[in-house]
Chains A and B, each alone.
Chain A
Amino acid sequence: MPLDQPVIRFTDVGQSFPGGDGKPIVALDDLSFGIGRHEFVAVLGPSGCGKSTLLRLIAGLIRATSGKVEIFGQEVTEPRDEIGIVFQKPTLLPWFDVLGNVTFPMRHKYGFVSEVERQRARELLALVGLSDFAARRPEELSGGMQQRVAIARALLLDPDILLMDEPFSALDALTRDEMSFELLRIWTERPKTVLFITHSIPEALLLADRVIVMTPRPGRVREVLQVPLPRPRSMKTLEEPAFHELANHIRGELFSRPVAA
């Protein structure tokens, strides 16, 4: 694969669903962008702008009504092995312990869990800071810890692409900040191409190399914004003038025009 080729590429992608009154509801319209290797891209937009639809298109869970979604230059027609997903809710399996949940993708896909994978799962648990919790039940863990397990689970089969669908939005504000820095640390240790969906401006700016700002329904790309803040980012990043300028700029973009399409 040539290095300059985007890992994920959207070309004029549109997505509509059949609506209640027979007229189709347009969720995404005329979406074109590319995401490079090991790039961290945040997709930012108000609720109902089709952010999750966008993620499901890349995951191959749905197919675009029009246009083309490509991964590594191949059109996405079904789910692929290169992708790990972290959902808004941890959705762990209550009948497995933490280790069993992390190894679940292996068990589910191949029907067994090898010792190698089990070891890998332990390493991933160490990576997300949960070494001591391998034998615990999901319900014994806090929301933040459960989401860490979900991240470890998404990394088990070593995907090139990590799709995250508002993964921290169900957490309390303090845990949320902590998890953002944790994710940056994990991403530094295991570089992946990350597509991170969020409706939080600070979260997007803190995490991403680029922010794709979307319009409300139908979802279109309003602006693709470079985030030139230096890495590694920390609490200090939040105090930088550039951070505030960018945040204000995005706020202006999102609220300057009426919400109607």
Chain B
Amino acid sequence: MNSPTTSGASCSVDPWQREAELADDAPVKLVKHSRLVLLLDRFAPPLAFAALLLVWEAVARLFGIPSFLLPAPSAIVQALLATPLPVWLGHIWATLRVALMGYALAILVSVPLAVGLASSRLLSRTLYPMLVVVQSTPVVAVAPIIVVTLGASDLPRVVITFLIAFFPIVVSTVTGLLATPDELVELSRSLRAGRTRAILHVRLPFALPYLFSALKISTTLAVVGAVVAEFVAAEKGLGFFIAFSTSFFKIPQAFAGLVVLVAISLILFRLVGLAQKVLAPWSLPKSER
């Protein structure tokens, strides 16, 4: 695209740009138009979010909804501030520790498992149905059993987190490993480099974009897993905090715990994105580098 208006734009797929090219009269008007759109583009998401909070607050106040049904945002913020920081940090650390350990275990198990499934038809035919059965089992329902079996420690919680987080990593990595272009597999074979190198040098790098997509999804799942585990059995952690607050009808406080959980999930998600940017920028689409 050679339009004079493209210089200010960062991305060539913006719909306004095509519109701009279609207009007959000249850059001046177009630049104005684009500036407005750019501003809107940047500020629309936070504005929409703020508007949502305002509507929520207004509805809660106007209709006098009791805080144990739906607390207003202001009440949630109050509850957030009312709980002392060390208490928060204690709960956050408990949840984060379980989530990260389960997440790490999921990666350590899933990637080698995916390599095995992708390279052996026999293994794939044998294990895949089992994996699907495990995945189809509602982990929330199994969680109490796991806690009873594995006793009161971090172990059952880590296992529950693992069970919730691992499947997308396996499936995505297998897809990525199998998406390697045939020619490269043939190039590898023609060099007689061996299966190990074919996997390390060609297939695994090619699977990285898929792996990172799954790793992003699994951050959220890992937090879900940790919270589920804490609902079942824990005396610390944000899941425990929410369950505890709810049982005492301290709903704003439960919502405050929820806000913290969302923040943790977002940060972990962003961290994985950042890791991808630093470690394998080529695996991202050009617009996201």
* B193 adjacent to chain A (CB < 8 Å): yes
- Identify the closest chain B residue to A55 (Cβ): B186
Q: Do A95 and B187 touch (CB < 8 A)? A: no
Residues of A within 8 A of B183 (CB): 87-89, 91
Q: Given A60, A89, A91, A95, which contacts B190 in the complex, CB threshold below 8 Å? A: A60
Contact with B along A58-87 (1 / 0, CB 8 A): 011100000000000000001101010101
Contact with A along B263-279 (1 / 0, CB 8 A): 00000000000000000
A95/B280 contact (C-beta < 8 A), A87-B183, A111-B197 known: yes
Q: How far is the CB of B224 from chain A (nearest CB, A)?
A: 32
For the residues of B in contact with A, the DSSP-based class is: helix
Q: Given B184, B191, B193, which contacts A91 in the complex, CB threshold below 8 Å? A: B184
- Identify the closest chain A residue to B192 (Cβ): A79
Please report the C-alpha to C-alpha distance between residue A56 and residue B283 in the assembled complex, in whole angstroms: 30
Residues of A within 8 A of B181 (CB): 89, 91
* A107 adjacent to chain B (CB < 8 Å): yes
Residues of A within 8 A of B16 (CB): none
Q: How far is the CB of A232 from chain B (nearest CB, A)?
A: 30
A109/B193 contact (C-beta < 8 A), A59-B186, A61-B186 known: yes
* A94 adjacent to chain B (CB < 8 Å): yes
Residues of A within 8 A of B190 (CB): 59-61, 79, 83, 85
Contact with A along B167-187 (1 / 0, CB 8 A): 000000000000001011011
Q: How far is the CB of B262 from chain A (nearest CB, A)?
A: 34
Please report the C-alpha to C-alpha distance between residue A93 and residue B205 in the assembled complex, in whole angstroms: 9
* A191 adjacent to chain B (CB < 8 Å): no
Residues of A within 8 A of B280 (CB): 95
Residues of B within 8 A of A91 (CB): 181, 183-184, 187
* A36 adjacent to chain B (CB < 8 Å): no
A-B contact count (CB 8 A): 54
* B201 adjacent to chain A (CB < 8 Å): yes
Residues of B within 8 A of A104 (CB): 201
Q: Do A105 and B186 touch (CB < 8 A)? A: no
* A236 adjacent to chain B (CB < 8 Å): no
Contact with A along B183-223 (1 / 0, CB 8 A): 11011111111000100011001001000000000000000
Beta-carbon contacts under 8 Å, A89-135 to B: 89, 91, 93-95, 104-105, 107-109, 111
Q: Do B205 and A95 touch (CB < 8 A)? A: yes
Q: Do B186 and A108 touch (CB < 8 A)? A: no
Residues of B within 8 A of A139 (CB): 282, 286
Q: Do A95 and B282 touch (CB < 8 A)? A: yes
| Centre residue among A85, A87, A105, A108 by max chain B CB count within 10 A | A108
Q: Do B282 and A94 touch (CB < 8 A)? A: yes
Q: How far is the CB of A35 from chain B (nearest CB, A)?
A: 18
5 closest A-B pairs by beta carbon, nearest first, are A87-B183, A91-B183, A79-B190, A94-B282, A109-B191
List chain B positions with a Cβ less than 8 A from chain A. 181, 183-184, 186-193, 197, 201-202, 205, 208, 280, 282-283, 286
Q: List 14 A-B contacts (CB under 8 A).
A: A59-B190, A61-B189, A61-B190, A81-B192, A85-B190, A87-B183, A87-B186, A89-B181, A91-B181, A93-B202, A94-B282, A95-B208, A108-B197, A111-B197
Apart from A87-B183, A108-B193, 16 more pairs, CB < 8 Å: A59-B190, A60-B190, A78-B192, A83-B190, A85-B187, A88-B183, A91-B184, A95-B280, A95-B282, A95-B283, A104-B201, A105-B187, A108-B188, A109-B193, A111-B197, A137-B282
